[in-house]
Amino acid sequence: MMFKKVLIANRGEIAVRIIHACQEMGVSTVAVYSTADEKAPHVHLADESVCIGEPTPAESYLNMDKVLKAAKDTGADAIHPGYGFLSENADFARRCWEANMVFIGPPAEVITLMGDKIAAKKTMEKAHVPIIPGYHGDDQSLENFKAQAKKIGYPVIIKAAAGGGGKGMRIIREEEDMEESLESSKRESLSAFGNDTMFIEKYLEEPRHIEFQILADEQGHTIHLFERECSIQRRHQKIVEETPSVALTSELRAEMGKAAVQAAEAVKYTNAGTVEFMLSGSQYYFMEMNTRLQVEHPITEATTGIDLAKWQLRIASGEKLTLSQEDVHQRGHSIECRIYAEDPEKGFLPSTGVIQRMEVPQGVNIRHDTGIESGLEITPYYDPMLAKLIVYGESRDDAIGKMVWTLSNYVTMGVTTNVAFLKEVIAHPEFRKGNITTHFIDDYFQNWKHAEEIPVEAIMAASIYDLLHYTIQKERGGGEAHRDPYSPWKRSGKWRMGGE
């Protein structure tokens, strides 16, 4: 039976996305928010809202006790974790079930298994899903890591077993760099995740990041919804995604899709999830499994016509998948760009401030998922992603052209964003050709500078001058300007050729 009320344990655009899905299905929603998010769109869009604490995540969105209390007090019968925050926290999933609250996601045991990268890779190996050659054992000594690296062959990469987001990750090209790299990786991993267990793998020089969307019901039926290309990354974080990938033939796509289903079935996965691979040439390797809805899920929805958020709700409520693998088809091409409040010219440093104005171009097959609006303050407490811009085209060239146009007309004033940077990435000749790897940003956009040199202060000064000049003209009884305050012909400011 479908839920009556769902609490969304998240914020921003994903909270808005889930609220809309629930309300379209006739399900009541509860939003939780910190004091910093009191005026955020997800708060007033939900049917009910509960303040759960101070701005810091530990006092609000990561506080399990407060989230569960809000769910209980409002009579919610399920919790959707979105992504980030508590979405891949096995303890939270377990506590939801203990409180007789449905956790909209996989079982806690699956989250635990897939959250341990070493255990996950061992499981995939047993399920005959290809994994990158490496060492995932218990011997964490320097001597063993040197021996394993020699056996694998340099270059190698060290990764944190409990981590993600590039933390604890080091590329090692020569044995003499192993000791320092291993020690610094362990320190960083222990600080970030409370665990300094590492593993080592062969480093792929020119890989592509390909992931497959999975849906699995509680009756054992699992399908994939094809791939997403996620190779355009900065600091190991995706910023541009597209589907389908130009790197996959129909045969390779079918083979990787089958492997993704095998991976999900091997751990008895349920709900929506993503199996991530690294692709080198025509050889693919399992990397990890994300046990939640992905940021980039809209491009899969665009090309398949399947609403993933709604299927999450249906599966969690016990419904069977009515889709077979043969029912799922791709059509056209979709691209997503992540709009961040950050400065690409300063190493993607996050930007804060008040959104003074936001304008998003309207058009056929343009989707804008956001949790912000004009007047909202962007604080330093949360991830700086402001929105996701998604376009769909009949072909890849069509989608690229639409995205370039949309970014060219996208306006956000008040904070620095990566919009201009994204436009140059999408318009780059090598991107247009499909020649992309996870090193694309490093290869082509090191020390990037905005091509436009006119500072915003100059534009504002010219605007003020124009306004003052017009006001003086009006006060002096300036002919037509007096009778028609909107006439452009009597306004000779900086915006008119031949003006002062």
Q: State the DSSP code for 138.
A: S
Instruction: Between 481 and 175, name the one with better pLDDT.
Output: 175
Q: Are 275 and 255 in contact (CB under 8 A)?
A: no
Say which amino acid occupies 226. Answer: F
Strands 102-103 and 78-80: parallel
pLDDT at 481: 47
Does position 168 have pLDDT exceeding 70, yes or no? yes
Average pLDDT, the chain: 92
18-27, 34-43, 155-164, 242-251: least confidently modelled range: 155-164
Cα–Cα distance, 423 to 485 (Å, whole number): 37
Q: Could you tell me which of 261, 286, 312 has the C-alpha nearest to residue 106? A: 312
Mean pLDDT on 390-413? 97
Kindly indicate the confidence band of residue 493, based on its pLDDT and cuts at 50, 70 and 90. low
Does position 20 have pLDDT exceeding 60, yes or no? yes
Q: At what angle do helices 419-427 and 396-408 cross, to 10 degrees?
A: 150
* Torsion angle (degrees, nearest 10) of CA 355, 361, 366, 369: 10
Q: Annotated catalytic sites, by residue?
A: 292
Question: What are the tens digits of pLDDT across the range 92-123?
Answer: 999 999 999 999 999 999 999 999 888 999 99
Q: Could you tell me which of 157, 96, 114, 156 has the C-alpha nearest to residue 267? A: 114
pLDDT at 459: 74
Instruction: Between 130 and 456, name the one with better pLDDT.
Output: 130
CATH topology of domain 133-202: Dna Ligase; domain 1 (3.30.1490)
Mean pLDDT on 331-351? 96
Does position 500 have pLDDT exceeding 60, yes or no? no
pLDDT at 494: 58
Question: What are the tens digits of pLDDT across the range 224-271?
Answer: 999 999 999 998 899 999 999 999 999 999 999 999 999 999 999 999
Does position 479 have pLDDT exceeding 90, yes or no? no
Question: What are the tens digits of pLDDT across the range 146-167?
Answer: 999 999 999 999 999 887 767 8
Kindly indicate the confidence band of residue 447, based on its pLDDT and cuts at 50, 70 and 90. confident
pLDDT at 484: 62
Share of the chain above pLDDT 70, in %: 93
Terminal-to-terminal C-alpha distance of the chain? 71
CATH topology of domain 208-444: D-amino Acid Aminotransferase; Chain A, domain 1 (3.30.470)
83-92, 185-194, 320-329: least confidently modelled range: 185-194
Question: What are the tens digits of pLDDT across the range 269-328?
Answer: 999 999 999 999 999 999 999 999 999 999 999 999 999 999 999 999 999 999 999 999
Neighbours of 467 (CB within 10 A): 12
Cα–Cα distance, 9 to 83 (Å, whole number): 9
14-18, 336-340, 367-371, 496-500: least confidently modelled range: 496-500
- Residue 77, H or E segment: none
pLDDT at 236: 85
pLDDT at 468: 81
pLDDT at 454: 61
**pTM score, two decimals?**
0.85
Question: What are the tens digits of pLDDT across the range 423-438?
Answer: 999 999 999 999 999 9
Q: Tell me the three-class secondary structure of 322-364, residue by residue.
A: CCCHHHCCCCCEEEEEEEECEEHHHCCEECCEECCEEECCCCC
Q: Could you tell me which of 173, 192, 170, 196 has the C-alpha nearest to residue 181? A: 170
CATH topology of domain 5-104: Rossmann fold (3.40.50)
Cα–Cα distance, 25 to 27 (Å, whole number): 6
Say which amino acid occupies 310. Answer: K
